[in-house]
Structure 1
Amino acid sequence: MSIAENIKSLKKETVPINVTLIAVSKTKPAEELQEAYDAGQRLFGENMVQELVEKYEQLPKDIKWHLIGHLQSNKVKYIAPFISMIQSVDSLKLLQEINKHAEKNKRVIDCLLQIYIADEETKYGLGFDEAIELIRSEEIAALKNICIRGLMGIATNTDNEKQIKDEYYELRTFFDGMKQSFFRKDTAFDTLSMGMSSDYKLAIEQGSNMVRLGSTIFGKRIIKHFKNN
């Protein structure tokens, strides 16, 4: 199926159950993103800052860009003027840097805390205890130009469906606990981003309301050479 047909099919699947679709467009050329845009897609996720900035400059300005890859503090300034959401926040230091550049740009930037749930050392993210400690910290209360919208997690890359389900269940349970304990009166804390092309159906089963899909939309990735983030 074409990119447009894939978008249409996924929207039929996700819109009725209030699941937000992020088109993960890393390594994809601008022409393919434009095809998805022309099919009605407006939310795109990128992993690397340089690639994200290049595509922002080339594509329509009503696209809402999500940074979903690991973000270094010294790169925040490049995306702060336009980024819609940063899904990969994994430290107070990074939040403070996002807040600083959001303030400079007279913006409030939506953020998700990335929680480490995978049985893989290569993944980034906060542990459950670290996330609670961060939310409880006095420093975070001073950050007026960021908005914590929820949590993001990446499950283990495995064929073991039970393990994936358990990891997503654990994150959903933690999300519910965070909402109850710290964001009960905050309607903005509403996003649980979990699920990629290989496991998004399992993630939705476990309560995800935002999925990040690349190959399901664009086909298998062809690695292109971009400079490191």
Structure 2
Amino acid sequence: MTIAERVAAVRERIAAAAARAGRDPGEITLVAVSKTVPVAAMREAYAAGIRHFGENRAQEARDKFPAFGDDVHWHFVGRLQTNKVKYIARHCHLLHSLDRLALAQEVDRRASRCGRVLPCLVEVNVAGEATKAGLPPEKVIPFLHQVAGWPGLRVVGLMTVAPRADNPEEVRPVFRRLRELAEEAARQCRGLPGIELRHLSMGMTDDFEVAVEEGATLVRIGRAIFGERG
């Protein structure tokens, strides 16, 4: 299949999953994860209608930013070291992996220096996997209270990476828990400045349909669009 055919197939699957959940597929943003993908392949995805790209490596993202115009939205979806924030602070549209106070402080500092407010998602380690980044669920609401009102960042939702599973149904509870946590956090943080929990970034190539059924507003798809990485 061509990249355009893969994009169309993924969009059809998102629409079908949304229909099963009684949702409008227009509520769901497809983020094409382009880590290690050459710009030429990204241009094929762009020609197929992709306007949101997700990068995992800050310096690779920095090098790709100039390749596209202002209509492309850049998402940083990987673990971000504090000393790499400088590479993405000016051009990134959404940081999916805010997971610790030191990172929040550096994002706030760098974005403020650029005259920006950087939208962020708090990464949550719902399943408690030792190898995964993210805050444990019980620390999310206290963290939101800590960063509320910081001038250089705005928290607009939550993100999680589900465990690998042969059957996507096995990870449905992870996505459901993130949605429930977001609902609880929205209640407890209502009125806090800079906290607007309207997005759930969850679901990747192997499980995005279940994520959509459970309320994802952003799905991060790499392999199903660009094929296996070398």
The answer to whether TM tops 0.5 is: yes
The yes-or-no answer on 1:50 pairing with 2:59 is yes
Q: Does the residue aligned with 2:116 lie in a helix, a strand or coil? A: coil
Q: Does the residue aligned with 2:71 lie in a helix, a strand or coil? A: coil
> Which of residues 152, 158, 161 is equivalent to 1:151?
158
Alignment CA distance shift 1:159-1:2 (3 Å): same
Give runs of aligned pairs for residues 1-150 of structure 1, distance below 5 A: 1-14=1-14, 16-17=24-25, 18-137=27-146, 140-150=147-157
Answer with 62-71 or 157-166: which moved more.
157-166
Q: Which runs of 5+ in 2 are unaligned?
A: 16-23
Shift of 1:13: 4.4
Aligned to 1:171: 178
Shift of 1:59: 3.1
- Residue identity matched to 1:145: G
Q: Is the 8 A contact 1:90 1:126 kept in 2?
A: yes
Aligned to 1:227: none
Aligned to 1:225: none
> What is the root-mean-square deviation of aligned Cα atoms in Å?
1.9
Alignment CA distance shift 1:184-1:143 (3 Å): closer
Percentage of identical aligned residues: 37
CA distance in 2, matches of 1:180, 1:46: 31
- Residue identity matched to 2:186: K
Shift of 1:195: 0.1
- Residue identity matched to 2:2: S
- Residue identity matched to 2:100: S
- Residue identity matched to 1:5: E
Runs of at least 4 residues off by over 6 Å: 184-187
Shift of 1:12: 4.2
Aligned to 2:19: none
- Residue identity matched to 1:197: T
CA distance in 1, matches of 2:168, 2:48: 32
Q: Does the residue aligned with 2:44 lie in a helix, a strand or coil? A: helix
CA distance in 2, matches of 1:188, 1:33: 31
Shift of 1:160: 4.4
Shift of 1:187: 8.7
Taking structure 2 as the reference length, what is the TM-score of the superposition? 0.89
CA distance in 2, matches of 1:160, 1:118: 16
Q: Which runs of 5+ in 1 are unaligned?
A: 223-229
Aligned to 1:202: 210
